[in-house]
Chain A
Amino acid sequence: MTQRISINPITRLEGHGTIEIFLDDAGDVERAYFQVPELRGFETFCLGRPAEEMAQITPRICGVCPTAHHLASAKALDDLWQVEPPPTAVKLRELAHNAFMFEDHTLHFYYLGGPDFVVGPTAPRSKRNILGVIDAVGLDVASRVIGIRRAVRQMLETMMGKVIHPVFGVPGGVSRGITEEERQRFLEIASEAVEFARFSLTVFDQVVLENKANLELVVDEGYQHRTYYMGMVDRQNRVAFYDGDVRVVHPNGNEVAKFHPREYAQHIAEHVEPWSYITFPYLRKIGWAGFVDGPSSGVYRVAPLARLNVSDGMATPLAQAEHDRMYETLGGKPAHHTLAFHWARLVEALQAAERMQALLTDADIAGRDIRTVPTATPSEGVGIVEAPRGTLIHHYWTDPQGMLTKVNLIVATNHNAAPIAMSVEKAAKRAIHGGQVDDGLLNLVEMAFRAYDPCHACATHTLPGRMPLVARILDRRGELLNVIRRDRE
């Protein structure tokens, strides 16, 4: 009887990861472990560096969401030096964040998450990729995605100096503003972005909501966890990406906490396991009860569906309408359907695009007053933003000269570490019985994992959605019984 299935490596994750699945004597899944096999040590090797350099050092945690780290860092630096950026600078930072959010979210949908729905999880492997998406929705799509992505990223490069590892965020503002000419040019791009986000939602409608099999998958119990949710909201409790307080809701939807960024450590704790380098955050006041969901477990989720769940609505009108439609379909708020992360992601992309448009319509964003120079003595600062993949927390302590003495970072995907493990295990239990393993297993496990968009989206036009998976099935003595491969065609 088979005992252990190793999935190595997991791909489309920034960094490396593996999944180990253990079967009981009946060949059913006993446990599944999601392991992160690497650690680089940013929180330690930053000590002794000048705090302002963190805005350029921390983006190297992740080259896919460097903008999120850059802006969380800039906010932490503002707090550290007790300085408020002028309104133009805040608008510029918020514009950069929304533009990046839009670009990253749409990329994930078309190249990574989307294909599972567009062509269906049981479609042939050769179709579960962007080529299959093109077949389903037309040739235009790929070039539109490449085109809008290129336009937005060039805009970001102009604003931030670099798009991969930005430089413009500094304590008290930004180093570079935009000209009136740039504002008008970017406004056109923003309008295209809004149209593209709306188009993407109609694609989702056509290939998911109007497709019975896909819709059933989205609402399937096997892909649900009744967890707490966490996300940032503005003063009206609407979804906020750049600034606000952090709100936590109970699995039944009631608010259980709403806190200023400086108070995050009172609410979040991290659990350590000896078998992974990643830590497992949980709600401190509820406590760690293991890899389980429910109101007695401190496990919570972040990122698109979570953000929508904790909010009273979206901050922009078109997105708000989509938000209402989504919850009506899913049967109310909060929604626990892991696969609905894909839907919420597109609703967020639309808000991000609408925010870009609103910010660029305001001529003040091309203003010259982009910096307030700090004068206070620094000691401690916290900055939080919502990265595409979840709540991103930067916390710095320094000496009076602003040299770092201590650093605490809780990075978006980190919050979802326990949920990812749980989703993978649940999907595996749903799929594997009696020791039988096949291609369907591999894809269903992937889908549970991929919904969280673990930190790396990559797109070339020939990117196939084929996950490189090998399931090696060993017997009790560790002898190889069978190998199921997902081959490249």
Chain B
Amino acid sequence: MAKPKVAFYWCASCGGCEEAVVDLAEGILPIVDAVEIVLWPVALDFKLEDVRGWKPGDVAVAFINGSVRSADHEMWVNLLREKCGLVVAFGSCAHLGGIPGLANCTTRDRILENKYLRAETVVNPQSILPQLQTRVDGHELELPELWNTVRRLDQVIDVDYYLPGCAPPPASIATAVQAILSGNLPPKGSVLAPEKSLCETCPRNRAKPEQFTIQQFRRIATSVPDPEKCFLAEGYACLGPATRGGCGERCIRGNMPCRGCFGPTPDALDQGTKFLAALGAVTAGQTQEEVATVAATLADPLGTLYRFSLPSSLLGRSVSDKGAER
């Protein structure tokens, strides 16, 4: 029987998800024996024409990483959705929007201005900006259009499963691939990770006090985190309570608080506001002045609460930057 065909593709990606697959090390051997990889731009030859030539269903599964932020990405993911049986949103960017999703706090025009006109080292007396179409020395060149708003994958195409993490741990990649190959899958739309929050498996959970009150938020920059104590109880904005477990608590073991890359637990509509709800129960302050003072010590709520998930927040993007509206 022919081996099932598998495709990998990347949109606005850093390549870390590709590295995560490589980090399977010897563990990749049984997988590669069991499947035929028919698309993987980072590693294998492929052609757009080849993908266009696939019949729908030819390819069993496409693992797509990266967030979607250009016309070119949109074209590719629509094509893969059409041709592949299953689509898996691979990694935080495809699942939630990821760190490139932070661009939703600003606008495309602001990004272009800052990079090409105002940057410290750019010398650009004619104020040249990249153009969708250019004519240079008689030659026609094109660039794809960048969108103003970054999207996660299921905001553009239908997605069957989500593999969270920035990057997904190799063990969960191997488990997911085995599940897909054996047909042993949870209901469509499932996130392939535990349903409970990180705190459930956090090595510091036992030492967490039953009751604690954050008098003021602390920043790692100006303090030293205790290697054994619960970060939140110590006043660090650790998103563990609002984040799915399954990552192995690698950041915690590196003595740094969680930043939420696995995304929200199933019951939460919005990872950021859900975390705020939790904070309301453990922060100090009785009078309005006291409360306002404590709240002000949480630096950059937007960037902290939505580090990986801004495109997935209910609000979706900020409008405070001039020109952010469509």
Contact = CB atoms under 8 A, between A and B. Distances in A.
A and B touch in the complex (CB under 8 A): yes
A35 B114 contact: no
A406 B43 CA distance: 36
A402 B221 contact: yes
B216 interface: no
Interface stretch (B54-62, B102-110, B269-277): B102-110
B161 to A, nearest CB: 21
A462 B13 CA distance: 23
Nearest to A60: B99
A20 B18 contact: no
A15 B41 CA distance: 10
Contacts of B13: 15, 63
A161 B136 CA distance: 48
B141 interface: yes
B73 to A, nearest CB: 9
A234 interface: no
A125 B260 CA distance: 44
B110 A44 contact: yes
B20 A458 contact: no
Contacts of B207: none
B22 interface: yes
Contact of A45 (B45, B103, B144): B103
B250 interface: yes
B97 to A, nearest CB: 12
A164 interface: yes
Nearest to B23: A153
A388 interface: no
A63 B14 contact: yes
A175 B146 contact: no
Interface of B: 12-23, 25-26, 28-29, 32, 38, 41-49, 69-70, 72, 98-100, 102-103, 105-106, 108, 110-112, 114-116, 119-124, 128-131, 134, 136-137, 139, 141, 143-144, 146, 166-167, 219-225, 227, 250-251, 253-256, 259, 299-300, 302-304, 307
Interface of A: 4, 8-9, 11-12, 14-16, 20, 22, 30-31, 33, 35, 37-41, 43-53, 56-57, 59-64, 66, 77, 81, 143, 146-147, 149-150, 153, 157, 160-168, 170-171, 175-176, 264-265, 268-277, 279, 281, 284, 288, 371, 373-375, 395, 401-403, 406, 408, 410, 455-456, 458-464, 466-470, 485-488
21 contacts: A38-B72, A43-B119, A48-B302, A52-B219, A56-B259, A63-B14, A143-B26, A153-B23, A168-B255, A170-B220, A272-B124, A279-B115, A371-B224, A374-B222, A401-B299, A408-B120, A460-B22, A463-B44, A468-B44, A469-B45, A485-B47
